[in-house]
Amino acid sequence: QVQLAESGGDLVQPGGSLRLSCLASGFTFSTYTVGWFRQAPGKDREFVGALGWGAGRSAYYADSVKGRFTISRDNTKNTMYLQMNSLKPEDTAIYYCAADRRPYGVPQTMARTQIVYLGQGTQVTVSS
């Protein structure tokens, strides 16, 4: 079955950087759009960004993280990453990696439908 395992969450100061990783198994990783969601205390789950499966690997990000966060993937390791720079206190949340439920999707669809497999989450806290 599909399994997604995040790692890398930590406490970081405002303005700092952090990289999350997610190891995937149970599906053909290279043919699926993957992404990240987050959920802050008392708030709904929020789309962060997604990265397509193809050679072009188009990316799509939420406005709140655009220009600060970057998603990448290594298909040889079945692993995706979320590089977070210029972190703000409002980025504090549990971060979940995600994979589309079907292959060959596009990032914008993941953002719109949020029909995904999710990992267990990793805590990111931005505070001085």
pLDDT at position 34, please?
97
DSSP state of 104: T
* pLDDT higher than threshold 90 for residue 2: yes
* pLDDT higher than threshold 90 for residue 19: yes
* pLDDT higher than threshold 90 for residue 74: yes
* pLDDT higher than threshold 90 for residue 124: yes
% of the chain surpassing 90 pLDDT: 95
Compute the mean pLDDT over every residue in the chain, rounded to the nearest whole number.
96
Residue 110: phi and psi, rounded to 5, are: -60, -40
pLDDT tens-digit map of 37-55: 999 999 999 999 999 997 7
% of the chain surpassing 70 pLDDT: 100
pLDDT at position 56, please?
74
- CB within 8 A of 4, min separation 6: which ones? 22, 23, 24, 97, 98, 99, 117, 118, 119, 120
